[in-house]
């Protein structure tokens, strides 16, 4: 935020305890958590940025060890783990088999997202994002690779999208008409027979009708045998497809250069660019981007104006 970012988004904030990726992850299922998040939202906004909260449920990819805590895999109950849930009892490679959600469980998930959105608003966040990507619970419902249900939440695309749309409606009803609601989709499973960009475009349109305003396109994460093709901007094509359908989008994925990001937006491939690794590498990236693109900044503290040209190099 202090470096000039326009939007700062929290990452995968669990709406229920069993929605965490690891036992160490944060959440928004309690008022105590809301009170701590309020301090973070207040600081982000005090620096001139918009504060967003990404609401998430890890599904079958929950109860796992942190990547830097060997050995990899599921955390046993004795060490703070829990029984994971999913649309169907299909395990992610190397993890324990989840329980298939029943009707009561699905209603609890919807309520978790609704309550999480409420707490995010009470904490002072400006917008919320429904995380339906990267192989977590909502993505698991969307993909035929992980959804083998025979009820109204499985089978056809309309049925597989039902939970996401019900959550979008619940969140929209909770936050009102003035708060932006984002949805994050994977544009592809990067695996044969899986969710793809054609389905993502259709469901994004349905989500817009359900109350979503903006679509954050990423990719993959559903299966371990995915076949990624990484490179600079390798996922821009997903945002471009949704954007071509008349929907506002953002893109992500190995975008680390200001000129590249600007070209993506100016060419109409996306409405915005989200960055992660470049901000971790350089928290003041927007200052250097402005210098590279010849943009005059209007928020330099007067006492530092004499050093402006040196600071951005």
Q: What pLDDT is recorded for position 228?
A: 82
pLDDT in tens, 80-136: 999 999 999 999 999 999 999 999 999 999 999 999 999 999 999 999 999 999 999
pLDDT over 70 at 25, yes or no? yes
Q: What pLDDT is recorded for position 2?
A: 84
User: Does 271 map to a domain?
Assistant: no
The answer to whether residues 16 and 109 touch, using CB atoms and an 8 Å cutoff, is yes
| Tally of structural domains, the chain | 1
- Per-residue confidence at 311, pLDDT binned at 50, 70, 90? low
Q: What pLDDT is recorded for position 230?
A: 87
Task: Determine the structural domain holding residue 138 and report its residue range.
Answer: 7-228
13-14 vs 7-9, strand pairing mode: unpaired
User: Does 59 map to a domain?
Assistant: yes
User: Does 260 map to a domain?
Assistant: no
Please state the rounded mean pLDDT for residues 66-86: 95
User: Does 308 map to a domain?
Assistant: no
User: Does 239 map to a domain?
Assistant: no
User: Does 288 map to a domain?
Assistant: no
The answer to whether residues 168 and 181 touch, using CB atoms and an 8 Å cutoff, is yes
pLDDT over 90 at 18, yes or no? yes
What one-character DSSP code corresponds to residue 131? Answer: E
Top pLDDT among 306 and 266 is at 266
Among the residue ranges 10-24, 26-40, 150-164, 215-229, the one predicted with the least confidence is 215-229
Tokens of 27: 């959440």
User: Does 270 map to a domain?
Assistant: no
pLDDT over 60 at 171, yes or no? yes
Q: What pLDDT is recorded for position 310?
A: 59
Q: What pLDDT is recorded for position 233?
A: 93
User: Does 283 map to a domain?
Assistant: no
Contacts of 250 (CB under 8 A, 6+ apart): 214, 215, 216, 217, 239, 270, 271, 272, 273, 274
pLDDT over 80 at 16, yes or no? yes
What is the residue-averaged pLDDT of the chain? 95
**Quick one: which H or E segment has residue 7?**
strand 7-9
Among the residue ranges 63-67, 101-105, 295-299, the one predicted with the least confidence is 295-299
Per DSSP, what are the bridge partners of residue 55? 13, 130
Tokens of 184: 């994050």
Q: Where are the alpha helices (DSSP H) in the chain?
A: 31-46, 103-122, 137-142, 157-160, 162-175, 197-210, 236-244, 258-266, 277-281, 285-293, 308-311
Q: What CATH number is given to the structural domain containing 18?
A: 3.20.20.70
Q: Which residues are catalytic?
A: 136
Top pLDDT among 230 and 60 is at 60
Q: What pLDDT is recorded for position 193?
A: 95
pLDDT over 60 at 312, yes or no? no
What torsion, rounded to 10 degrees, do the Cα atoms 257, 258, 264, 268 define? 180
């Amino acid at each position: 935020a202090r470096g000039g970012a326009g939007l700062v988004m929290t990452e995968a904030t669990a709406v229920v305890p069993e929605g965490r990726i690891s036992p160490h992850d944060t959440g928004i299922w309690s008022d105590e958590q809301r009170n701590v998040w309020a301090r973070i939202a207040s600081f982000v906004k005090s620096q001139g940025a918009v504060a967003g909260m990404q609401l998430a449920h890890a599904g079958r990819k929950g109860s796992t060890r942190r990547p830097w805590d060997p050995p990899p895999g599921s955390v046993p109950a004795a060490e703070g783990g829990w029984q994971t849930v999913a649309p169907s009892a299909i395990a992610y490679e190397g993890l324990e088999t989840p329980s298939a959600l029943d009707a009561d469980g699905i209603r609890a998930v919807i309520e978790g997202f609704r309550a999480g959105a409420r707490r995010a608003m009470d904490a002072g966040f400006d917008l919320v994002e429904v995380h339906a990507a990267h192989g977590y619970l909502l993505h698991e419902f969307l993909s035929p690779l992980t959804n083998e249900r025979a009820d109204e939440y499985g089978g056809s695309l309309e049925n597989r999208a039902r939970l996401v749309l019900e959550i979008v409606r619940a969140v929209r009803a909770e936050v009102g008409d003035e708060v932006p609601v984002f949805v994050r989709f994977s544009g592809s499973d990067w695996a044969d027979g899986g969710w793809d960009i054609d389905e993502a475009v259709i469901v994004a349109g349905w989500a817009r009708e359900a109350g979503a305003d903006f679509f954050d396109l990423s990719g993959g994460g559903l299966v371990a045998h995915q076949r990624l093709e990484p490179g600079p901007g390798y996922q821009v094509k997903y945002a471009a497809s949704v954007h071509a359908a008349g929907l506002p989008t953002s893109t992500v994925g190995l975008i680390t250069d200001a000129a590249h990001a600007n070209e993506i937006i100016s060419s109409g491939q996306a409405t915005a660019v989200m960055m992660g690794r470049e901000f971790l590498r350089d928290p003041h990236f927007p200052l250097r981007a402005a210098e590279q693109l010849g943009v005059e900044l209007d928020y330099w503290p007067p006492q530092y104006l004499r050093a402006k040209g040196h600071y951005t190099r």
